[in-house]
Amino acid sequence: MTRIVYILVGASVPTGGHKMILRHVEALKRMGFDALAHVPRGEAEPAWFDHAAPLQNGGELLETDILVVPDDAFGVLKRLAFSKHRKIIFLQNHFRAASGGVGRLAPAELRCYREFIACSATCAAWAARYLPESTFDVIPAFADERRFGPLEKQPVIVCTPRKRQLEARAVIFMFSRLHRSSMRWKWSPIESASEEEVAHAFGRAHVFLSLSRLEGLGVTTLEAMRSGCVVAGFAGLGGREYATTANGLWVDDDDCEACAEALVRAVKLVESGGPALETMRKAAMQTAASWSYANFLSALETYWRRVVPP
């Protein structure tokens, strides 16, 4: 049987992209495909979330392998460009792809990559504009309903500031000056946490400050929406695919003052309670439900049954 080999690099740092690679592999394995994640020699294995994906640490790649290569793994992309393998690029963030991955390849190297799978319609549309000679399919990312959901809510504002450290500090300061309430709100910034810890934090928080930036989709924000948070902040461009006035309090990217004001509105919405709060929370959860694990599985199997027939 043809092996499906996803290349995994830099996975010691928690990112949604690494998690999605391993979710692809473990699902394919359960479907009966010969699938694994290849960790190049010297690279660390991920230890920040649980998965059932088989890993090959070091070792050889077979010429018959179908290789799925991350869009931003420039060194790997360059090294494999002229190999005899069938190669598919996993496009999860078109900004990183353009600046640090496929966009850095020489023209002759780039011509060796003709197949793409994209995590969102946004990424696929980018590939259609800038790599029109290629083929691309969408296998949507997902907010994992098996792991994320609402818990007993507390007056907590949660955020993941990794991509917007400066903006996070500015918004937190401005929010503290704008908001006056008898309810004592606590901040819960998440850095380098396990998936289980993130799910617990999202589940118990009433409000999520979205600090998305230059996203291919913005799965973390979808996970917060799936957890029943009221979302306020930036859509990160890629999040425009799902952000509406009904499911969140969204502002233009980089407008920190508008973000702080939206956060105040989110907190007041929670404090007031009632139908308006439940309507927005329900809309957010319904949006996240459309990016489900079940939908992902269906698209994944349809694609790979076509590529690797039984």
* Beta-sheet pairing, 86-91 with 115-118: parallel
Q: What is the 3-state secondary structure (H, E, C) of 101-132?
A: CHHHCCHHHHCCCCEEEECCHHHHHHHHHHCC
Residues 178 and 129 in one domain: no
- In the structure, what pLDDT confidence band is assigned to residue 181 with cuts at 50, 70 and 90? confident
Task: Check pLDDT > 90 for residue 180.
Answer: no
Structural domain boundaries, residue 279? 154-289
Residues 63 and 99 in one domain: yes
Residues 245 and 208 in one domain: yes
Residues 179 and 132 in one domain: no
Residues 10 and 40 in one domain: yes
* Residue 279 CB partners (closer than 8 Å, separation 6+): 246
In a domain, 217, yes or no: yes
Tally of domains within the chain? 2
Coil vs helix vs strand at 147: coil
Task: Check pLDDT > 70 for residue 122.
Answer: yes
In a domain, 194, yes or no: yes
> Which two structure tokens, joined as six digits, stand for 118?
């994209």
Q: What is the pTM of this model?
A: 0.95
In a domain, 269, yes or no: yes
Residues 41 and 116 in one domain: yes
Residues 18 and 115 in one domain: yes
Residues 162 and 65 in one domain: no
Q: How far apart are the first and last CA of the chain?
A: 9
Listed residue (121, 51, 123, 137) closest to 93, CA to CA: 123
Give CA–CA dist 104/180, Å, rounded: 49
Residues 158 and 279 in one domain: yes
> Which two structure tokens, joined as six digits, stand for 162?
């990794």
In a domain, 135, yes or no: yes
Listed residue (41, 83, 81, 79) closest to 62, CA to CA: 83
Average pLDDT of the residues in 120-145: 96
Residues 277 and 301 in one domain: no
Q: Could you identify the residue written with the tokens 């790599």? A: 131
Report pLDDT digits (tens) over 18-72: 899 999 999 999 999 999 999 988 777 777 778 889 999 888 899 999 999 999 9
Residues 83 and 171 in one domain: no
Residues 284 and 300 in one domain: no
In a domain, 272, yes or no: yes
**AA letter at 253:** D
Average pLDDT of the residues in 215-232: 98
Average pLDDT of the residues in 157-186: 93
Task: Check pLDDT > 80 for residue 154.
Answer: yes
> Which two structure tokens, joined as six digits, stand for 13?
């740092």
In a domain, 149, yes or no: no
In a domain, 147, yes or no: no
Give CA–CA dist 56/34, Å, rounded: 13
Report the CATH number that the domain containing residue 30 is assigned in CATH.
Answer: 3.40.50.2000
> Which two structure tokens, joined as six digits, stand for 72?
């931003």
In a domain, 148, yes or no: no
Q: In this structure, what DSSP letter does residue 228 have?
A: T
* Residue 31 CB partners (closer than 8 Å, separation 6+): 300, 301, 304
